[in-house]
Structure 1
Amino acid sequence: MILLVQKFDKFYSKLENFHHHKHNHQSQALTASLEAFKSHVSNCLNKLSLSSKSGFEIPSFSWIQQCFELLPIINHAFAKLVVAIDYPVSKWEAASVDEYLKYSLNLLELCNSISSSLSHLGKARLSLAHALSLVENSSLSLALKHLKPIQPKGLNKELRFQGNEEIGKPRCPNISKQAVIDQALVVMQGMVFWVCGILMSGLVGEAKPYLEMRSSGGRFVDSWLPGLDLRASEVIVERNGVLKEVKELDDAVAGLAAAIGTGKSSDEAAEELKRRLEGFAKLVEGFGKEVDCLFNKVLAGRNQLLNGLGQQKQ
C-alpha cells in the first residue's frame, strides 16, 4: 500500500511538473508575441524619428504622409498578433471588444477630420487658382481680393480619445492571451492617436490637436524613443503646425500681390504661384486617396466584426 502511494505521488509530481512546464512555455510564447508587436511599432517610430530630423525643422506634407502611413501598419501588426496567439475576437472579454469597437470608431472619425481638412485646403487652392486666372485676364484689382493666404480651418470638435484605463492593466502575474490583447490594444490606440495629433496639427495649422491627443500616446513614444514626443511638441507649438508647402504657397501669394500692388511685372510671380499650386494639388489629391483607402478598410473590418458578433448572439 505504501509503495502504491509512493508511485502515485511520483506520477502526480511528474504530471504537475509537465503542466507547469507547459504553462511556462505558453507564457513565454505569449510574451514573445507581445514583445514582437511592440518591437514592430517601435521600429516604425524609429523610422519616423530618423526622418523627423528634417521633418521637424519645417513639417512638410511628405512627412505627415509618412506619419499617416504608420496607421495601417500598426493596425496590421495588431491583426497579425491576434492570429499569432490564436485568440480571435470571439474569445475576447466584452470590455476588450467594446474598446476595440470604440477605437475603430474613433479612427473613422479621425479619417473624416483629415478628409475635411484636406477638402478645405483643396478649396483654398481652387480660390487661388481662380485669382491666378484673373491675373492672366488682367483683372488685377479683382484678383487682389482673392490673393489671400490660406486660412486654417479649426476643428469642429475636440480630439480627446482616451482608452479605457482598466484595459491593459496586469491583473495577475502570469500572462494570458487576454492580457496580451489588452496590452496591445493600449499600445495601438496610444500610438495611432499620437500620430493623428501630429497629422491634424499640420493640416489645420495649429498646435491644439496635437496637444489634445499627445496624452494618449506620448508616454509610449518617450519610453521607446526618449525625446521624440518632446521634440515634436516643441516644433509643432513653435511653428503652430503650419506645413512647409502651405507656407510656400502663402509666400508665393504675397509675392504676386506685392508685384500687382506696386505696378511691377507680375509674370514671374504668377508663374511661381502656378507652379506651387500644381504641386500642392497633387499632394492633396494623393493624400486624400490614402485616407479614403484606410477609412474603407477600417469600416469594412468594423462591419465584419459587428456582423460576426450579431450572429453569435442569435
Structure 2
Amino acid sequence: MSRPQEPGRPFFPFVNPFKILTPKGSILSPGLLALLNNFELTLTDRLKKLIPEDNNDVLSLSWMKLAMELLCQTHIDIKCLITELELPVSKWDEKWIDVYLDISVKLLDLCIAFSSELTRLSQSHLLLQCFLRNLESNSPELYVRTRSSLESWRQHASLKNPRVENCRSILDDLVKSLDLPKVKNSAKGKVLMRAMYAVKVTTIYVCSVFAAAFSGSAKNLLDLDVPNTLVWAGAFSDVQTTINEEIRNIFSQERVSVVKELDVVDANVKKLYPMIQDVTVTIEKEAISNSVSDLRRAAEKLSEGLDHLAKEVDGFFKIILGGRDALLCNLRSDDAVTESKMGNVEEQSPRRL
C-alpha cells in the first residue's frame, strides 16, 4: 500500500533528505557506521564506472547493460545490508513496508516497459535478417522488393511504445517517494533509510535514462538533487551531469533512435537504400555487397547487444520480485506467529498484499 500523496506537492517533495536520514543528535555505533560506510563507498565506486572514457559510448547498449548491472548489484547490496543489520521485518515500521511495496510495484512496471521495448527492437532485427537474405542474392528483382521492406523497417524502428510512453508518470511517483518516512529511536533504522535513499536515487535516475533512450524523448530524463554531504553525492553528480549533457546533445540530432547500435543500423540502411532504388541503373555489385556486409555486421551487433541488455533487465526484475516476495512471506509468517500467540485458530489473510 502506498501513502496518499498530498495535492500540489512540488516535484522534489523533500526539503533536506539528509536531515531526515540523520536527525540531530543521532549517534551510530562503530559497527553500524562501518556497514553504512562500506555500502556507500561501494556505490560510489560503481557510479564512477558509469562515466565512459568516450562520450560516444553513452546510450550504447553496452553502456546501458553496465548501468543495469549497477542497479542489480546495488539492490543485492541493500538486501545484504538488511541481513547484516539483523533488523527483522517484525521490527520494521509499517510506513517503511508500505513505501517499499509501493516502490517495488512501480519498478516492476518499469522493467516490463523496458522489456517490451527490447522485445520490439529484437523483432525488428528479424525483419532485417529477411531483407539481408534477399540483398545477398544479387538479384535486381529482389532488390526492388527489398527496397519497400527496408523502408518498413525504418518505420517500425521509429514507432512509439505505449508502455514506455507511460514511464514518466511512474518516474514522477518514484521521485515523490524520496521523501522518506521518519525514523524514531532506531539506529539500525536510520542506517537502513539512508542506504535505501541512495538506492532509490540511483535507481530512479538510471530508469529515467532508459525511459529517455527508449522513448526518444528528453522529457523522461531527470535531474535529481542530492545533499552534497552524502559520501556518494559527488560521484552521482558527476555521472548525472556528464550523461545528461551528452544525452541532450544526442537528442538535438536527427536520428531514428538515440540508442547507438540502432542508429548505426539505420545509417547503413540509409546508405544502402539509394543503391537499390532503380534496377534500370547499372548497379555496382561490389559496392552493394560491401554495404550489405556492413549492414549485417551492424545488425548482428545490435542483436547481440539487445540480448545482453534484455537479460540484465530480466535479472533486475527478478531481484525486485524476489525481494518483494521475501518481504510478503515474512509478513505472513509474522501474522501466523501473532495469531498463534493469541490462540486464534481461524485462517486469516495477510495484513498486506
TM-score by length of 1: 0.80
- Indicate the structure (1 or 2) with the bigger Cα radius of gyration: 1
Could you list the runs of 4 or more consecutive aligned residues of structure 1 that deviate by over 4 angstroms after TM superposition?
55-58, 168-172, 216-222
Supply the distance in 2 between the matched residues of 1:209 and 1:85 (Cα, whole angstroms).
Answer: 35
Supply the distance in 1 between the matched residues of 2:121 and 2:263 (Cα, whole angstroms).
Answer: 12
The answer on 1:293 being equivalent to 2:315 is yes
Letter of the 2:70 counterpart = L
Q: CA deviation at 1:116?
A: 1.0
Alignment CA distance shift 1:237-1:152 (3 Å): farther
Alignment of 1:232-243 (within 5 A): 232-240=243-251, 242-243=258-259
Q: Using CA pairs below 8 Å that are at least 6 residues apart, which structure has the higher relative contact order?
A: 2
Residues 49-99 of structure 1, C-alpha deviation per residue, up to 9 Å, x if partnerless? 2xx231455531111111110011111111121122211233110111112
Supply the distance in 1 between the matched residues of 2:81 and 2:218 (Cα, whole angstroms).
Answer: 34
Supply the distance in 2 between the matched residues of 1:125 and 1:54 (Cα, whole angstroms).
Answer: 27
Q: Name 1:146's counterpart in structure 2.
A: 149
Supply the distance in 2 between the matched residues of 1:170 and 1:312 (Cα, whole angstroms).
Answer: 21
Which of these residues, 286, 289, 292, is aligned with residue 267 of structure 1? 289
RMSD: 2.8
Supply the distance in 1 between the matched residues of 2:56 and 2:90 (Cα, whole angstroms).
Answer: 42
Letter of the 1:151 counterpart = S
Alignment of 1:1-314 (within 5 A): 27-49=29-51, 52-55=52-55, 58-137=58-137, 138=139, 139-148=142-151, 149=154, 150-151=157-158, 153-154=160-161, 155-157=164-166, 158=168, 159-160=170-171, 161-167=174-180, 176-211=187-222, 214-215=223-224, 223-240=234-251, 242-261=258-277, 263=281, 264-265=283-284, 266-314=288-336
Supply the distance in 2 between the matched residues of 1:43 and 1:169 (Cα, whole angstroms).
Answer: 28
Q: Name 1:13's counterpart in structure 2.
A: none
**Structure 2: runs of 5+ lacking an equivalent:** 1-25, 252-256, 337-353
State whether residues 131 and 150 of structure 2, in contact with CA within 8 Å, keep that contact through their aligned partners in structure 1. Answer: yes
Letter of the 1:271 counterpart = S
Alignment CA distance shift 1:215-1:169 (3 Å): farther
Q: CA deviation at 1:217?
A: 6.8
**Greater percentage in helix:** 1
Q: CA deviation at 1:223?
A: 3.7
Supply the distance in 2 between the matched residues of 1:198 and 1:218 (Cα, whole angstroms).
Answer: 21
Supply the distance in 1 between the matched residues of 2:135 and 2:113 (Cα, whole angstroms).
Answer: 33
Q: CA deviation at 1:243?
A: 2.1
Q: CA deviation at 1:163?
A: 4.5
Supply the distance in 2 between the matched residues of 1:296 and 1:209 (Cα, whole angstroms).
Answer: 24
Supply the distance in 2 between the matched residues of 1:136 and 1:80 (Cα, whole angstroms).
Answer: 53
Supply the distance in 2 between the matched residues of 1:56 and 1:94 (Cα, whole angstroms).
Answer: 45
Residues 261-305 of structure 1, C-alpha deviation per residue, up to 9 Å, x if partnerless? 264332221121122212221221222122222322321231122
Letter of the 1:185 counterpart = M
Supply the distance in 2 between the matched residues of 1:57 and 1:26 (Cα, whole angstroms).
Answer: 41
Sequence identity percentage: 25
State whether residues 110 and 196 of structure 1, in contact with CA within 8 Å, keep that contact through their aligned partners in structure 2. Answer: yes
State whether residues 168 and 183 of structure 1, in contact with CA within 8 Å, keep that contact through their aligned partners in structure 2. Answer: no
Q: CA deviation at 1:235?
A: 1.0
Alignment CA distance shift 1:56-1:126 (3 Å): same
Alignment CA distance shift 1:133-1:123 (3 Å): same
State whether residues 194 and 218 of structure 1, in contact with CA within 8 Å, keep that contact through their aligned partners in structure 2. Answer: no
Q: Which moved more, 1:86-95 or 1:163-172?
A: 163-172
Letter of the 2:121 counterpart = L
Supply the distance in 1 between the matched residues of 2:108 and 2:321 (Cα, whole angstroms).
Answer: 7
Q: CA deviation at 1:170?
A: 6.6
Alignment CA distance shift 1:56-1:171 (3 Å): farther
Letter of the 1:209 counterpart = N
Supply the distance in 1 between the matched residues of 2:295 and 2:79 (Cα, whole angstroms).
Answer: 45
Q: Which moved more, 1:217-226 or 1:127-136?
A: 217-226
State whether residues 59 and 244 of structure 1, in contact with CA within 8 Å, keep that contact through their aligned partners in structure 2. Answer: yes
